[in-house]
């Protein structure tokens, strides 16, 4: 069977991560979110997968290649152009426009097919969903999920009649205005004929353009509400929460990698740490080739990426630290995500430590220690002068 993964978006709401990592490759404890989707599709017999790419397309194609190592076949539809200097410039066509572009190239979708957004962890029974779709004689089906009423204002709401036929949509309605608690999960089942209602060569969205058109036409367009786990990674706070949920054991089929060296503490290989001289409370994952100096403290849920360096006196609390990050001595990070030169709080507010002249607090482990030590000494002298103390810890909250 055939499927499509939508992977062409820029992921602006997940910046700064998506400056260098395309959204489908955002790691959930070292495994890209899109790889979980490929695994799910394979499990349910969808082994021919089209992926539309645009922003950082090369990274996605280089990781998945033709899909052989994942037991499936994968092909790509690039949306954009190539500049005179040889660089790729993404020009996404929208979710529906991307589907139509593939079909215009050569008719790939010749039977019932599934479309998944490439930014969510799901454990959906796709086989049951497709069976329901066919029994209904549906042209298009949305898989929805019921959420508590006080959460509806964060999502797109799908309104149906008693038979499941889609009647209307509400985009992030207030609790009082919401006509349903079933939300759009970005999981769709289509018949090939739906492509006849998508114009060629222009930007066209599934939710914003195609679905309202189907409702207006009175097409056999349904929604099925299913009980399944759905972890959306639409924004930085969502990603932060997803990592936390995985570490807390709340996400099925996503085990913590590495070896459990103590209750709730997992590591990759060759982690440099004296366990009796650090204070680590799980759940915590520490990537391979990371150094934790004596006197450091890590309070979970927290992840420390591979090749990191947590200096003496540093305290990592309920935070996500990406690879090659060095956290200076006596720095406290609480509810933070550290990605390169950026420090992001759980609400999405971002500090560029380099632009803020704070790049001595968070540095790259591949930088020479001599240069970092010089900057750190100057900064420590400044802090001591301001606070009249040589041992004032720096806290980012």
| Contact predicate 65/39, CB 8 Å | no
Q: What pLDDT, on the 0 to 100 scale, is given for residue 370?
A: 64
DSSP letter for each residue of 155-204: SEEEEE-TTSBEEEEEES--TTT-S-SEEEEEEEEE-GGGGGGS-TTS--
DSSP letter for each residue of 370-390: HHHHHHHHHHHHHHHHHHT-S
Secondary structure of residue 38 in the 3-state scheme? helix
| Contact predicate 4/116, CB 8 Å | yes
3-state secondary structure 84-95: CCCCEEECCCHH
Q: How far is CA 210 from CA 107, 190, 207, 262, in A?
A: 19, 12, 6, 52
Q: What pLDDT, on the 0 to 100 scale, is given for residue 352?
A: 79
The rounded distance, in Å, linking the Cα atoms of 304 and 320 is 6
Q: What pLDDT, on the 0 to 100 scale, is given for residue 385?
A: 39
Write out residues in the chain with pLDDT < 50, as ranges.
Answer: 379-394
Q: What pLDDT, on the 0 to 100 scale, is given for residue 356?
A: 65
Which among 97, 17, 13 is positioned nearest to 54, based on CA atoms? 97
Question: Over the range 316-355, which residues count as b (16 or more CB within 10 Å of their CB) and which as e?
Answer: bbbbbbbbbbbbbbbbbbebbbbbbbbbbbbebeebebee
How long is the chain? 397
**Residue 207 DSSP symbol:** I
Q: What pLDDT, on the 0 to 100 scale, is given for residue 204?
A: 92
Phi-psi region of 283 (alpha: psi -120 to 50; beta: other; left: phi over 0): beta
Which among 327, 335, 324 is positioned nearest to 299, based on CA atoms? 335
Q: What pLDDT, on the 0 to 100 scale, is given for residue 372?
A: 57
Q: What pLDDT, on the 0 to 100 scale, is given for residue 277?
A: 96
Q: What is the pTM of this model?
A: 0.85
């Amino acid at each position: 069977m055939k499927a499509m993964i939508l992977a062409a978006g820029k992921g602006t709401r997940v910046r700064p991560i998506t400056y260098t990592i395309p959204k489908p490759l955002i790691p959930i404890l070292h495994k890209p979110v899109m790889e979980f989707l490929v695994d799910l599709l394979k499990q349910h017999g969808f082994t021919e997968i089209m992926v539309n790419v645009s922003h950082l397309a090369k990274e996605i194609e280089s990781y998945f290649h033709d899909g052989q190592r994942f037991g499936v076949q994968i092909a790509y539809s690039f949306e954009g152009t190539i500049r005179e200097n040889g660089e790729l410039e993404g020009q996404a066509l929208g979710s529906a426009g991307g589907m139509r572009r593939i079909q215009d190239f050569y008719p790939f979708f010749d039977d019932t097919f599934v479309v998944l957004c490439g930014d969510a962890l799901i454990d959906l029974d796709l086989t049951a969903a497709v069976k329901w779709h066919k029994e209904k004689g549906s042209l298009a089906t949305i898989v929805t999920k019921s959420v508590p009423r006080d959460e509806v204002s964060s999502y797109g709401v799908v309104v149906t009649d008693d038979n499941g036929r889609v009647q209307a949509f509400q985009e992030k309605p207030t609790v009082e205005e919401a006509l349903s608690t079933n939300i759009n999960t970005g999981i769709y089942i289509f018949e090939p004929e739906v492509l006849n209602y998508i114009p060629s060569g222009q930007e066209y969205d599934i939710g914003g353009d195609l679905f309202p058109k189907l409702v207006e036409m009175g097409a056999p367009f349904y929604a099925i509400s299913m009980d399944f786990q759905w972890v959306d990674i639409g924004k930085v706070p969502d990603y932060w929460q997803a990592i936390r949920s995985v570490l807390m054991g709340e996400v099925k089929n996503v085990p913590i990698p590495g070896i459990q060296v103590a209750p709730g503490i997992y590591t990759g290989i060759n982690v440099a740490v004296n366990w009796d001289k650090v204070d680590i409370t799980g759940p915590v994952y520490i990537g391979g080739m990371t150094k934790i100096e004596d006197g450091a403290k890590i309070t979970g849920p927290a992840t420390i990426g591979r090749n990191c360096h947590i200096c003496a006196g540093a305290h990592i609390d309920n935070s996500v630290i990406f690879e090659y990050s060095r956290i200076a001595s006596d720095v406290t990070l609480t509810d933070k995500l550290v990605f390169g030169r950026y420090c992001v709080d759980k609400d999405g507010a971002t500090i560029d430590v380099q632009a803020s002249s704070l790049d001595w607090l968070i540095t790259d482990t591949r930088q020479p220690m001599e240069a970092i030590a010089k900057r750190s000494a100057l900064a420590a002298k400044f802090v001591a002068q301001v606070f009249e103390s040589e041992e004032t810890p720096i806290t980012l909250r």
